[in-house]
Amino acid sequence: MKNNSVQKVVATGIGAALFFVLARFVAVPSGIPNTNITFQYAAQAVFAVIYGPVVGCLSGFIGHVLTDMSWGGVWWTWAFATAVYGLIVGLFAKKINIRDGNFSKNEIITYVLANLVANVVAWGIIAPVGDIVIYKEDANLVFTQGLIAGAGDFLFAVVIGGLLLYGYSKTIAKSGSLDKE
């Protein structure tokens, strides 16, 4: 599969739409105000690994903004954190050669590490600090929201996203695996 700009634009649109649907209609309440555990970060991570950091960043950002707009107002700090999450996972993905059908032990470890770093940066730093600085939110509340969201999103992204990437890797014929008859 050739990696070109048309593919990336289409992937960004599909990723944003999938992010929106999952965020809007498939959510697990966390018990913390305005905080759900959702599956969209698994989808965003998959798109970031397959198509790279720009698609990961933009599909998440656009999807997040659309989701927030459907609820009545955009929380820009969290939308920006979502963009950074996709960017970080996509940057780590340069070490995951998924397009060649590789998703074994080293790639899985890299994927888990990417999600750990991305979740800590996005939900442990950017979103809560942004909420404190911009929206004057209570620090205890926003750091609790970030911790709960980050832990849940990490778990879903690693397990569900990892299974999706593993399955995807098995659909790709490895170079030299076809013999001429």
pTM of the predicted model as reported, rounded to 2 decimal places: 0.92
> Which of 114, 66, 113 lies closest to 90, judged by CA?
114
> Which of 67, 58, 65, 22 lies closest to 160, judged by CA?
22
Query: What is the C-alpha to C-alpha distance for residues 81 and 145, in angstroms, rounded to an integer?
Result: 13
Query: What is the C-alpha to C-alpha distance for residues 64 and 58, in angstroms, rounded to an integer?
Result: 10
pLDDT by residue (tens digit) across 67-122? 999 999 999 999 999 999 999 999 999 999 898 898 999 999 999 999 999 999 99
What is the pLDDT confidence band of residue 1, given thresholds at 50, 70 and 90?
very low
pLDDT by residue (tens digit) across 126-144? 999 999 999 999 999 999 9
* Residue percentage of the chain with pLDDT more than 70: 94
Write the DSSP assignment of 137-177 as a string of letters.
--HHHHHHHHHHHHHHHHHHIIIIIHHHHHHHHHTSPPTT-
Residue 180's SS3 state is: coil
Whole-angstrom CA distances from 104 to 4, 8, 45, 72 are: 26, 25, 17, 42
State the pLDDT at residue 181.
Answer: 52
Asked whether residue 179 carries a pLDDT value surpassing 60, the answer given is: no
Q: Please name each of the domains of the chain with its CATH number.
A: 5-170 (1.10.1760.20)
